[in-house]
Amino acid sequence: MKSMIMIMLLVFGLNANAQDGIELAVYQDLKFATIGDSERGYKAGTTDVVLRLRMMGFQDRYGYTIVFPEYEYADIDGTYKRYGAGVGYVLNQLVIENLEVDATVSYGFIDRYSKTFFSFGLTSSLNYDLGGLKISAKGQLTQRNDLKAFYSESNIWKPSFFIGILIKL
């Protein structure tokens, strides 16, 4: 058991040194923030936030790789929580200075009504660097098996649009 812990610490230590930086991303669903979802009875200002800890790899010719844990919380019936981890690539050597475009894939699980459902996620973000702080717009496509189980919905891939900030730690 001690040797397993030592191996894990070594691997995590090597990974920590391999990163070029860490950013905390905080997003709010734009629809829930501004108009809500009248179809489901949620008013404007409903909380639907995503927190993501972006660990950035070293810069190459076009950009860099990111890995991240993420957490999404929505104040809806059954309290929606999604825990995940993902990987992606950020293009930051674009024509417009300080502009980034990224694409990521994640896998995790949704916890709702005390039940657990596995879930894939795909996202793409447009980020503008203001120097240590980035403003961001993120499109997200999430596999929502909870909707199939609780509401018998046949289309379980749901799009969302978020706005947020990324803070360099």
For 137, residues 6+ apart whose C-beta sits below 8 A from its C-beta are: 125, 126, 161, 162, 163
Instruction: Return averaged pLDDT per consecutive 10 residues of the chain, 169 residues in all.
Output: 45 52 97 92 95 97 97 96 98 95 98 97 98 96 95 93 97
Could you please state the CATH topology (level 3) that the domain comprising 21-168 is classified under.
Porin (2.40.160)
The residues spanned by each domain of the chain are: 21-168
How high is the pLDDT of residue 83? 98
What is the Cα–Cα distance from 49 to 25, expressed in whole angstroms? Answer: 10
Q: How far apart are CA 45 and CA 117, in angstroms?
A: 26
Report how far residue 13's alpha carbon sits from residue 133's, in angstroms, rounded to the nearest whole number: 27
Q: Nearest CA to 140 among 42, 52, 21, 37? A: 52
Map residue 15 onto helix, strand or coil. helix
Q: Specify the pLDDT at position 19.
A: 62
pLDDT value of residue 41 = 87
The pLDDT of residue 10 is: 45
Q: Determine how β-strand 48-56 pairs with β-strand 133-143.
A: unpaired
